[in-house]
Structure 1
Amino acid sequence: MRDLPKAIATYLATDPGDTDTVAHCFTEDATVRDEGKTHTGRAAISTWRAKTATEYQYTSTPIAARSEDGRLIVTAHVEGNFPGSPVDLDYAFTLRNDLIHTLEIS
């Protein structure tokens, strides 16, 4: 897999419970779409990530990356105690000023 931009690599490598580090990977007005919900802004993204970390224990291993329509899409193998585990998920990122501006998980 190719080298990932620093913000994306940090996001993927950071423990889900480390919400401060995760939040600082994003722009102030970033948007995350996950499980049919949209979270906008660092505070909302931090809350979303904290909730996910308390509900589920999981590991996420990036297995592929590709560019598509101006986005960097990272496919990760995710295993844990959530419904449907294990699963390969696509994380579609856009960057602005070297930080994550949008993330859509599908």
Structure 2
Amino acid sequence: MTDLHLPEPIAAYFSADRQNPDALAHCFTAQATVKDEGQTHAGLAAIRAWKAAASARFTYTTEPFALEQDSGHHIVRSRVSGNFPGSPVNLRYRFRLERGLIASLEITA
């Protein structure tokens, strides 16, 4: 990871993304939502299942390289490389934080 100064919940997300779905779920509020690949995953159980399914299908690494803010959201650009079609790809992660946790995340190309 580069020397970006990511807010703590976002840094924890990218760190946990390399470990396991349970660690990743702890980064979110109980009512959080994740939008990825045209699907919305609401609540911790759904977020945990989403990450478990992605981890079972693909091996990948994420390397955040840019951070900006827009209308109360933190937008992280990250290079994702792995054994999935189209790798590597730069993805846009749009985070909304609430009480020190991630309340929403939208991942787009």
Q: Give the TM-score of the pair, scaled to structure 2.
A: 0.92
- Structure 1 unaligned runs (5+)? none
Q: Where does the alignment leave 5 or more consecutive residues of structure 2 unmatched?
A: none
Say which is worse superposed, 56-65 or 4-13, in terms of deviation: 4-13
Cα deviation, residue 5, structure 1: 1.5
Which stretches of structure 1, 4 residues or longer, exceed 6 Å deviation after superposition? none
Q: How does 1:28-47 map to 2 (within 5 A)?
A: 28-47=30-49
Tell me which residue corresponds to 1:77.
79
- Contact 2:61 2:82 (8 Å CA) reproduced: yes
- Aligned residue in 2 for 1:25: 27
What are the superposed Cα offsets for residues 15-40 of structure 1, whole Å, 9 maximum, x if unpaired? 44511110010000000000000000
Residue 55 of structure 1 aligns with which residue?
A: 57
Identity of aligned residues (%): 48
How many aligned residue pairs are there?
Answer: 106
CA distance in 2, matches of 1:2, 1:15: 17
Give the secondary structure class of the aligned counterpart of 1:14: helix
SS at match of 2:52: helix
Taking the aligned partners of 1:98 and 1:90, their CA distance within structure 2 comes to 21
Cα shift at 1:3: 1.5
Amino acid of the structure 2 residue aligned with 1:72: H
> Do the aligned partners of 2:34 and 2:105 also contact (CA within 8 Å) in 1?
yes
RMSD after superposition? 1.2
- Structure 2 CA distance for aligned equivalents of residues 44 and 15 of structure 1: 15
